[in-house]
Amino acid sequence: MPPGQLPDVAAVIARLRELQGQFAPDDGVGAFNRMYLQVTELVGERIEDGFFADPVFLARLDVVFAGLYLDAVDGRPANAADPCWQPLLESRGNHLASIQFAIAGMNAHINHDLAVALVRTCRQLGLSPSSPGVKADYDKVTQLLAEVHEQVRQSFLDGLALRVDQEVAPLLTLVGAWSIGRARDAAWVSASVLWELGRDPGLAEEFRRNLSRSVGLASRTLLTPVAVPTPA
């Protein structure tokens, strides 16, 4: 395990909880952190329950994955300036709906960070994306998150007055276009490309940076100001 990497999922959850207590109520990064904490707690429970075929792999992936977000939010050089995270970090104080920040954070973290984390995890454990059980466990996480994503998404919308259709429609259209299942499917493809490009580190890094830029553009769209209903 590389120096500075958190040791286990429990440590990740503890750090996310610590961060949540530090965010101001109107900090958009806090909205994403809240969603991410809920998801990480759920995955951690399933790891403990024996839901996955290879709990060691899933736990390490969870740790490596979280580290990329923590680098960004803590301002560490490794990920702080990455284009995929810039829109969220630059917009965190803007007057937008909390769900926009949450989805923009998920977009950056899944569409870019997950591919990077999957490759790093495989290398740390001496595996590859084609190793037995890796894709099956990855798909189990996708299925699990798809089941709870709508529930978590609704928790952000419950605080809004949804009585005025012309006010809420633009917001629902914007955030409804993003799918956690499609994002994770795309992340698997990106990880497979990065793995194959591993023979040429320069080309692999260029692919990663272009991916990060594209993901950043999508996040800026998700953070477009729209009519937000007045809180109930």
- pLDDT value, residue 177: 63
CA 97 to chain centre: 18
The region of weakest confidence among 96-110, 111-125, 174-188 is 174-188
Among candidate residues 216, 213, 230, 110, the one with its CA nearest the CA of residue 171 = 230
Q: Does the global pTM surpass 0.85? A: yes
- Summarize pLDDT for 68-105 with one digit per residue, the tens: 999 999 876 555 568 999 999 999 999 888 888 988 99
Query: Does the structure show a pLDDT above 50 at 123?
Result: yes
Banded model confidence at residue 127, pLDDT cuts 50, 70, 90: very high
Whether 18 contacts 24, CB under 8 Å = no
3-state secondary structure 185-217: HHHHHHHHHHHHHHHCHHHHHHHHHHHHHHHHH
> By three-state DSSP, how is residue 171 classified?
helix
3-state secondary structure of 73: helix
Q: Are 111 and 44 in contact (CB under 8 A)?
A: no
- Residue 149: band (very low, low, confident or very high) from pLDDT cuts 50, 70, 90: low
Q: For CA atoms 209, 29, 151, 223, give the dihedral sign.
A: negative
Residue 231: what are its φ and ψ, rounded to 5°?
-55, 140
- CA-to-CA distance for 37 and 229, rounded, in angstroms? 26
